[in-house]
Chains A and B, each alone.
Chain A
């Protein structure tokens, strides 16, 4: 098992694995996205109060879940890099950060667009919205810290510690609507808040599509990162020039 992991995490084999996996992430993503959008925009009925405006949930909720999930993956990969010194875990952590930040921005912006007509405000400083904004700042801090060092190992070490410290924010985001009175509503997912089965199916499809999108982006970005890190090695030069030297 240990040997297998070590073999998989050699840069060359990791690069190969990412290349091989890319189509396995790309086509399911497209499939789930198309069916999911169809289910979300056409099959699902309108809401009894919000009309069609509620459909923003199909973007907002998957992005919000992914924003937290990607952070957890980033912190765990960073921790694995710290403890076991697996370089490819550092690569996964580093390339996850901008993707997670993008999901966070999508969740915040889609929420604001929904909030203006429904609540009457773009933004309020309640516990849920504020903790999600802090998550965005954590991603930005991670990225700038990671870019502040020339040596990728040093960069990974310090930014992984930051990522682990920021983990404390995840339960705060998740439980904020339960622990405190917030303007943001409580859980709709897993509590029977979505009363219509078509709404549930549409949300599930969009969620799976988002996971494949994340996996796809990681595979693509990790390849680039490996090439940069290993630019002096022989196999990279062969790979890039397409000829043996």
Chain B
């Protein structure tokens, strides 16, 4: 080859004449070996710019003509193809299917702003005339719910029908806390661990009959939890008599929350739902105007709250009936943002805290892991590193100056500490503006957090370039004794 220095053959994969010579010296003379040794022709041009050149060099080195040296396989596209042609219809709105909630048509009529959760479109907030900023809508929804009553479509939460004579024992394995003591007609909050002891998911499970339960999962984990339970049933406990099927889509389910929730529902439900008939964490099969329905007295918002479910075909009619019956109480529908505000005010964990790296103890729920029985994840949740008293604990955070903003992802540092990993004490997981407290509040994980309540730290966010002095508090900002939800 004439000329000095390197002579490039394959511009995309940086193959030179020297590389082909080296391949020849190493006896990689077959074209297929040459290709794999040098990566000649493996780039997106599939050798169209360099292969003939490379093969000619090899032909010269071996003293054979090019046809005898051979050629490698070119893979399509042979000619330039627009990415749009490969994507076909799968772009924009056609990229993936949408899942619509039973209240979708109603919410659309209300001008709801939707957010994708998995493939579901959930109402994020529902602006009213004159509201120009999302915070106005969200604050109004939160305040109206806590003052009177608010309704939220919670159909997207996974529902798994669990039956069989061993359903009860199966739940004791799947959940870290005890379910075998749950009476018929009662619900219980359950914490599900992975085998490694970290928290996998949470939700309430209701016992509808002697061997009939319905489990609720988080929206995002609905499929994952179902798959996990099938693994337990088929592989770990094949001798248990337990059957599972998803009923997520079969029931339209609404949360009705707030001091007037019972009064509103009493107008629709045919049965007595007084505190005596349906106490906190009770559930029942009821009728609404004669229609089969289910009611669960459970609360994520911290208010007196119920979840009411009807066969999905009636979901649209039910949201309209709830709003009509709620008119005298100025009922609102609240979206996922208001839901988020209320759960942070109550100190409930959600996706940002259930991050796959956190244990029950980290979340302040260590006592829920029963040691009186074996369950998935129990043994490994008790490892030395997992029960460290200085490990991360869920804490509440408020800015010392109420006018200052908190940002999720900010890390906690002592006063005067450098903003480096070695000084890191934990981070803010979720941040909302609490319309009740009039300032921002956060949840977060803080090393030895329980012992640090009342302390002041810095919340430093190097990405957002913010630094805020914060006070560490209990994660329960609102009604810590839970008087409201038992009302």
Partners in one complex: no
B residues in contact (CB < 8 Å) with A: none
